Amino acid sequence: MPNMTPISEIEVLFFKAEKNYFQPINKYLVDGYPHFNNNKVSYDTYEKDFFFRTYKEVIVSGIHWTKKLFGATSINDIFIKHMEFGRKKQWFNAQLIHTGSGVMIDGEKFNPYINIAYSYNTVTKVKFEIGFYRSACSNGMVSGFKELTKMEIKPENLFDVPFWINPCLIAFLTKRFEFQIRVLKNTTLKGEQIQNWIEKNVSKWNISQSLVYRYTEELGENAYSLLNVLTDSASNFERDNEKAELNSVDREDHREDRSSNSERATRQRRIGVFTEALVEEIIKENQIDNAIIDINSSEFKINDNYMGLLDSLKTRDVYKFDIGKVKF
């Protein structure tokens, strides 16, 4: 998979930070020292009892939980796919990908990853998400499983085993992801239909016609090509900006410092929710019984019954669908 940073280079990706007592207002001030210079950056002040974690501590815990969640035996198969910081390093977002696991679909490998978000401005929780990357390129999406929004850890509990470390979760999401991809591959969509839908629904993403043409030529005229156009635009939205340096973002046009997430992760999250809705509508329109598993219903549980149901689902050779009825 292209453009990944080995975990062994973690030392150069982070800067030290510390909290110091601030006498005039009787609070603690968080100071950061970015690795690329020695100029101190001051963050917010907090009450005496707040628990502070450095970004390095968060990423070390993320590596640890990635190993546990994906069953990795070493860190050699774990890479940093993307790293983003706020303009004054008020927040950071990292994506750790595990190349040793995943699923093969028609000869293509898809690897799972964890998205981690943390902010010195909102230190109450460290948040995690799960997604998949297409190994042949840099296209990724966050799972639309709402239960994953509970994947978070309080800073003081960062190295305690979180409740969501459950291998069955990855097994289920992988099986479901494979089913969704196969449905999308077999759903016919003309290049013109894809282009018209994009212009009506995601015009702000500035997706070029050449990108649509590229994927329909490579992957065929189907809904899977639409997914790749979207994930390409989400995962590589700064590709055309020659000045973009994800490891040292310091641009006025970046998201505000008070944000605790990246534009990339936000787009990938939207695609995950959209994919859930799209596949469900395709199944409904083609009147396939028992093929819809509403993973976001209150009754849904990851258990042997649902795992067996996923195993029993069969995809059709061709699905017909009107993409115009689905919004982004």
Residue-wise pLDDT for 195-239, tens only, equals 999 999 999 898 999 999 999 999 999 999 999 999 998 877 665
124 lies in a domain? no
Q: Let me know: does 288 contact 321? Beta carbons within 8 Å.
A: no
Residue 135 lies in a domain: no
Please give the tally of structural domains in the chain.
Answer: 1
Residue 79 lies inside a defined structural domain of this protein:
no
More confident residue, 184 or 159: 184
Spatial separation of the C-alpha atoms in residues 135 and 302, rounded to whole Å: 27
Quote the tokens at residue 58. 């968060």
265 is a domain residue: yes
Structural domain contains residue 289: yes
Q: What tokens were used for 64?
A: 């640890």
Percent of the chain with pLDDT over 70: 70
Residue 287 has pLDDT above 60, yes or no: yes
Binned at pLDDT 50, 70 and 90, residue 6 comes out as low
Given a cut of 50, whether residue 68 has pLDDT beyond it is yes
- Distance, C-alpha 196 to centroid of its chain: 26
Q: Is the pTM of this model over 0.75?
A: yes
> DSSP character for 206?
-
Residue 254 tokens, joined = 């970046």
| Cα–Cα dist 35/307, whole Å | 46
pLDDT higher at 73 or 226: 226
Q: Domain limits at 176? A: 172-325
Tell whether 211 is covered by a domain: yes
Lowest mean pLDDT among 182-191, 232-241, 276-285: 232-241
pLDDT category at 288 given cuts 50, 70, 90 is confident
Q: Residue 276 has what pLDDT?
A: 87
Of 29-38, 230-239, 270-279, 291-300, least confident by mean pLDDT is 29-38
pLDDT value for 254: 34
In this structure, is residue 153 part of a structural domain? no
Query: Looking at residue 312, what is its pLDDT?
Result: 74
* pLDDT of 275: 92
Q: Alpha-carbon distance 124 to 145, whole Å?
A: 23
Res. 251 pLDDT band, cuts 50 70 90: very low
Of the two residues 162 and 268, the one the predictor is more confident about is 268
Residue 280 forms part of a structural domain: yes
Beta strand 5-6 with 78-85 is antiparallel
